[in-house]
Each structure stands twice: as structure tokens, then as C-alpha cells.
């Protein structure tokens, strides 16, 4: 099978598409449960489609371009997991084909073939959540484009003004997923260490990076929402995040195999003496990529395999050398078949087996799955507000008020002694009142005592912590 992909022919692009379709087929016939982050992204797009402005009227820490994509998907397809997954698969094939293209066209390896592309497709399918339409997946596309631009400069006698593209691509990646901003350091370090760029070209790359970000800032400035942008996006990214050991176990249980392959490939690479100087520099740039990706873990809003998609390019890069530089041809064929069948097995067994085989129960990401039966049956297709962490209450309901993200909503609800916070909550209830309030943090009694006009509108139901609106929403004209 490996020998098939070592053939350098245009029809191999179709082979990559077919393999991806084979690996993704189980999730179209038996879709996995929606994850809470996926639902959150859909809710943001849905609220923006209703005319609410991101950050000011939709409190979430999504980067602006990702939110724009979810808005567009909602306008076209509504709240459709299938549409999200299909678009994600299109992005994956674009990444795989481009990664393979630059590997061959820029002579990154000892031979030109489609092994880089097939390994990329296999690696990104090691976990079912890696093929979701996540901000990380979308941002990784532009980091790959930046890598292609960077190594194109290294093949020339001197660096050209195309370094503007390098900064631009990384800026777009940052606007899709904020932690990607760290890759600007990767790019400028690579320019400094491995190219003959001068001060003017560094400045040009910096301008390319800053330009799109400045446009976004100006947009929110003219919308009088610059403070909201700072509070909900920039400030939230540097808050202390709560990570759990089970989340890291899920990542390493899922991605441990490809990390091992990448590590063995790295050892093969440094032990091979026949690489030209240009190829060695490209390998060092990929090592820097991996290091920056490790640093970015500290800025992740949550830990799941989907957040580690940014590790796929360097792991696939070094794994190519693991297979291509192996002296025993038959052994490389056998190992490749084992990798292929293992990925396919774990893809299909979750759909075909009643009790899927897992290396670790944390791989199921139970803490990130939506729980559809969490609410009474009558609370369906209703406008609700969840006070506390969303575990899927919005699955069959619609969000009211901007408080979609509880980590951001804490700023108001945990500061009810602050006049500013109380007024902020009042204004948001007036603008978009919920029909039901699910109070998981037992905060509503205190809030109603401070906002009696809001409290008069709601009555406690027979279900613990659930309040129902019984009177029309408060109007300032009263």
C-alpha cells in the first residue's frame, strides 16, 4: 500500500479524497454525539444571524473570523452538524493536498510522492473530533500557507517582498484562533535564522501581520465595541484555564501512536547524512513549529484532541522520513498497513460495534458531550438562559441574552454587589428575555432581590433551579 502512494501522479489526489471519504463514512451513517464546543460554535453563528453583534451582544471568546464562518454556515444550512463536518472535510483535503504539494514542489524529502498527503489524512483522522469544523482546523490552513511562503523564500537567492504574504497568512490564522498568534514568533525567528532577510523585509512581514488585525480593531472601534472585544476575546485568552488530567489522557491515548511515529521519524531524520542544507533548514523550521505548538497549549480554552490539530503537520512531516528512509522496504510496507488499518478500525468500530473498544475511556470525551435529556420535555424549542456550564441544555433550545459562554458571564453574575454588573444584566434581560432560566449555580434568588422588576416576571417551577417567565418582558416605556 505504501508503494502505491510512492507513485508521483496527479490521480493520487483522487486517492487522498477516496481515503478521506472511507474514513469519514461511519460518521455520516451514524453521527457521533454533538460536543459542547461544537454546539457553542453553532449558537454563536445562530445569534449573529439574528442580528446580534459578536462580543457586545454575543459573549463568547471565539476569534472573529471563526465566528464569521459559523454565521455563514448557519445562514446557509442552519444548525446542521452534517454541514459543519462536510465543510471540515473539504478543509482537510485542501490541507492534505497543499501539504503534499509543497513537500514535492519544494523538495522537502528525498523523493516526490504522495506519502506526505496520505499520512496527513490518516493522522487527522485519529480522533473523531479532529475532523470537526473547529477554529484550530481553520487556522491551521493558513499556518500551512505561511509555511509554504516561508520555504519558497528559502529556495531563492534573496528574500522577496512576498514575505508580506507570510505575515498576512499568520494574521488570518490568528483571527481564526487567537493562540495562533504565537506562530508569528515562529515565522520571524525562521526568517532571522534561516533566510537572508533584511530589516525592510522583516518590517514588511510585520506589516502583513498587523494589517488585518488593525482592520478588525477599526471595525469594532467604529461599532463602539472595542471594550467588548478586549474583554471577551483578548482578556479571556490569558485567564487561567481549568484543565483536567482526564482531558490530557484522552489526547495522549488518541494521539500517542502518531506522536511515537513522529518521534521515530525525527530520529531517522537526524541520523540521515544525505540531506542538503536547504532540507535541513526546513526540518529545523518544523521543529520550531512543534515547540511553538507545545507552548500554545497554555492558551487553549479547553483540552481535547481537536485542539491539537496544529501538531499534525510536523508529526506528518517527520513520519514521512520514518517510512521513506527505512532500509527494509517490506517492513515499511507492513508498518504503513498497520497504521492505516488501525486508524480505519477505530473509525469504524464506534459505529459497527455495540460496545466500542477503547484504549482509555477518556477517549470518548464524555465531559465534552452534550446531554440531551438534561431538561424536562416541555423545555424544547424555547429561549433559555443557562446559569452555569452548558452541558447541552441548548441542544434543542435557543439562547437568550448574550450570556452564551459561562466563563465570560461570570464577570456579571459573580459580581452582583457591583452596580455596573447588575445594570448590565438588567439591560440584557430587557433586550432579549429568556422564557426559561436554568439556574445551576443558585444565583437567581439574589439577582431577583436586586432586580425586582425582573424577578416579578419569573416564577420558580417544580424542577430544581428552573424558572419560567410568566409576564411580558419589562419595557422601559412603562
pLDDT at 318 over 80: yes
Grid cell 508569528 — which residue? Answer: 184
Mean pLDDT score, 297-308: 89
Mean pLDDT score, 45-56: 93
Name the residue among 138, 173, 133 with its Cα closest to residue 37.
133
Q: What percentage of the chain exceeds 70 in pLDDT?
A: 92
Q: Under a CB-based contact definition with an 8 Å cutoff, are residues 459 and 470 in contact?
A: yes
Backbone angles phi, psi at 439, to 5 degrees: -95, 95
Written as one string, the DSSP assignment of 15-71 is HHHHHHHHHHTHHHHSPPPPBHHHHHHHHHHHHHHTTPPBTTTB-----HHHHHHHH
Mean pLDDT score, 61-90: 94
What is the SS3 assignment for 365?
A: coil
pLDDT at 478 over 50: no
Mean pLDDT score, 403-412: 90
What is the Cα 79 distance to its own chain's centre? 18
Cell numbers linked to 265? 521519524
Beta bridge partner(s), residue 437: 385, 467
pLDDT at 357 over 50: yes
Contacts of 455 (CB under 8 A, 6+ apart): 447, 448, 449
pLDDT at res. 391: 80
User: How are beta strands 383-387 and 436-439 bridged, if at all?
Assistant: parallel
What is the SS3 assignment for 419?
A: helix
> How does pLDDT run across 118-165, given as a tens digit for each residue?
999 999 999 888 889 999 999 999 999 999 999 988 776 555 668 899
187-201, 241-255, 271-285, 374-388: lowest mean pLDDT where? 241-255
What is the SS3 assignment for 456?
A: coil
Name the residue among 138, 120, 137, 131 with its Cα closest to residue 35.
131
Query: How far, in Å, CA of 40 to CA of 42, rounded?
Result: 5
Residue ranges per structural domain of the chain: 2-352, 372-469
Backbone angles phi, psi at 195, to 5 degrees: -135, 170
pTM: 0.91
Mean pLDDT score, 355-378: 68
Residue-averaged pLDDT of the chain: 88
Query: How far, in Å, CA of 210 to CA of 196, rounded?
Result: 22
> How does pLDDT run across 155-175, given as a tens digit for each residue?
765 556 688 999 999 999 999
**Eight-class DSSP state of 132:** S
Backbone angles phi, psi at 295, to 5 degrees: -60, -35
Q: How many CB atoms sit inside 10 A of residue 431's CB? A: 13
pLDDT at 457 over 50: yes
pLDDT at res. 350: 62
206-220, 327-341, 356-370: lowest mean pLDDT where? 356-370
Amino acid at each position: 500500500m505504501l508503494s502505491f502512494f510512492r507513485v508521483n501522479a496527479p490521480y493520487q489526489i483522487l486517492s487522498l479524497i477516496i481515503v478521506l471519504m472511507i474514513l469519514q463514512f461511519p460518521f455520516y451513517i451514524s453521527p457521533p454525539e454533538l460536543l459542547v464546543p461544537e454546539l457553542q460554535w453553532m449558537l454563536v453563528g445562530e445569534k449573529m444571524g439574528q442580528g446580534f453583534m459578536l462580543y457586545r451582544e454575543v459573549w463568547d471568546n471565539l476569534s472573529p473570523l471563526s465566528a464569521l464562518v459559523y454565521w455563514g454556515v448557519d445562514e446557509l444550512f442552519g444548525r446542521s452538524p452534517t454541514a459543519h463536518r462536510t465543510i471540515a472535510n473539504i478543509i482537510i483535503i485542501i490541507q492534505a493536498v497543499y501539504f503534499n504539494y509543497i513537500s514535492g514542489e519544494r523538495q522537502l524529502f528525498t523523493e516526490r510522492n504522495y506519502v506526505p498527503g496520505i499520512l496527513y489524512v490518516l493522522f487527522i483522522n485519529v480522533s473523531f473530533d479532529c475532523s470537526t469544523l473547529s477554529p484550530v482546523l481553520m487556522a491551521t490552513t493558513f499556518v500551512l500557507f505561511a509555511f509554504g511562503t516561508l520555504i519558497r523564500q528559502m529556495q531563492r537567492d534573496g528574500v522577496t517582498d512576498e514575505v508580506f504574504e507570510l505575515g498576512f497568512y499568520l494574521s488570518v490564522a490568528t483571527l481564526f484562533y487567537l493562540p495562533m498568534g504565537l506562530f508569528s514568533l515562529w515565522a520571524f525567528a525562521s526568517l532571522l535564522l534561516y533566510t537572508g532577510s533584511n530589516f525592510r523585509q522583516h518590517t514588511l512581514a510585520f506589516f502583513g501581520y498587523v494589517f488585518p488585525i488593525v482592520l478588525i480593531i477599526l471595525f469594532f472601534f467604529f461599532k463602539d465595541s472595542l471594550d467588548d472585544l478586549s474583554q471577551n476575546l483578548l482578556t479571556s485568552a490569558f485567564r487561567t484555564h481549568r484543565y483536567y488530567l482526564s482531558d490530557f489522557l484522552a489526547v495522549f491515548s488518541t494521539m500517542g501512536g502518531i506522536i511515537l511515529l513522529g518521534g521515530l521519524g525525527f530520529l531517522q531524520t537526524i541520523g540521515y547524512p544525505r540531506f542538503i542544507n536547504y532540507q535541513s533548514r526546513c526540518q529545523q523550521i518544523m521543529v520550531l513549529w512543534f515547540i511553538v505548538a507545545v507552548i500554545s497549549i497554555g492558551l487553549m480554552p479547553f483540552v481535547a484532541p481537536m485542539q491539537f490539530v496544529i501538531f499534525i503537520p510536523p508529526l506528518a512531516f517527520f513520519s514521512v522520513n520514518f517510512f521513506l528512509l527505512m532500509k527494509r522496504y517490506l517492513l515499511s510496507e507492513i508498518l504503513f498497513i498497520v497504521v492505516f488499518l488501525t486508524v480505519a478500525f477505530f473509525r469504524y468500530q464506534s459505529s459497527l460495534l455495540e460496545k466500542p473498544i477503547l484504549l482509555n475511556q477518556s477517549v470518548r470525551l464524555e465531559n465534552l458531550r452534550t446531554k440531551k435529556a438534561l431538561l424536562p420535555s416541555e423545555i424544547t424549542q424555547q429561549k433559555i438562559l443557562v446559569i452555569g456550564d452548558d452541558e447541552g441544555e441548548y441542544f434543542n433550545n435557543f439562547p437568550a441574552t448574550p450570556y452564551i459562554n459561562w466563563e465570560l458571564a461570570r464577570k456579571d453574575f459573580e459580581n452582583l454587589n457591583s452596580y455596573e454588573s447588575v445594570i448590565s444584566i438588567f439591560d440584557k434581560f430587557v433586550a432579549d428575555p429568556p422564557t426559561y432560566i436554568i439556574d445551576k449555580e443558585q444565583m437567581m434568588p439574589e439577582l431577583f432581590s436586586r432586580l425586582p422588576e425582573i424577578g416579578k416576571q419569573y416564577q420558580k417551577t417544580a424542577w430544581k433551579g428552573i424558572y419560567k417567565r410568566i409576564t411580558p418582558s419589562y419595557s422601559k416605556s412603562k
